[in-house]
Amino acid sequence: EAGVAQSPRYKIIEKRQSVAFWCNPISGHATLYWYQQILGQGPKLLIQFQNNGVVDDSQLPKDRFSAERLKGVDSTLKIQPAKLEDSAVYLCASSFGGEAHYNEQFFGPGTRLTVL
């Protein structure tokens, strides 16, 4: 079974530029998560999708971050404009979803963003 795919793996941009990350979850997984992991910290949830609807985006800085999951499968996370403090690893995770099945999250390898 293929895992969660993310691209690009690395991205270097200058502040005020825009950047987009892509995630393809495990086939059949209804729930998709984006996390931000700043160096030395644990991952922090940015947004959670259930199919193509947003469940929780309370920690997403909506003035500069946006995310979509138009067809309920893959997803993109965008930052516009980027700030120095956005330098982090952006992790995508997916889970089967549904209360009858424990909702284990499977993580992709992440995209390491450096903002100069």
Partner 1 sequence: AQSVTQLGSHVSVSEGALVLLRCNYSSSVPPYLFWYVQYPNQGLQLLLKYTSAATLVKGINGFEAEFKKSETSFHLTKPSAHMSDAAEYFCAVSLSNDYKLSFGAGTTVTVRA
Q: Which is nearer to partner 1, 4 or 19 (CB)?
A: 4
Among 11, 32, 47, 48, binds partner 1 (CB under 8 A): 48
The Cα 16–Cα 14 span in angstroms is 6
107 near partner 1 (CB under 8 A)? yes
Q: Which stretch binds partner 1 (CB under 8 A): 16-24, 65-73, 78-86, 102-110?
A: 102-110
Q: What is the DSSP string of 25-38?
A: --TT--EEEEEEE-
56 near partner 1 (CB under 8 A)? yes
Tell me if 12 sits within 8 A of 116, measured CB to CB.
yes
Q: What distances in angstroms separate CA 90 from CA 22, 46, 66, 73, 100, one per listed residue?
A: 10, 9, 13, 18, 29
Q: Collapsing DSSP states into helix, strand and coil, what is residue 115?
A: strand
Residue with tokens 């691209």: 7
Site map (CB under 8 A) of partner 1, residues 3-42, x = contact: -x----x------------------------------xxx
Interface ranges with partner 1 (CB under 8 A): 4, 9, 40-45, 48, 56, 91, 93, 95, 102-110, 112
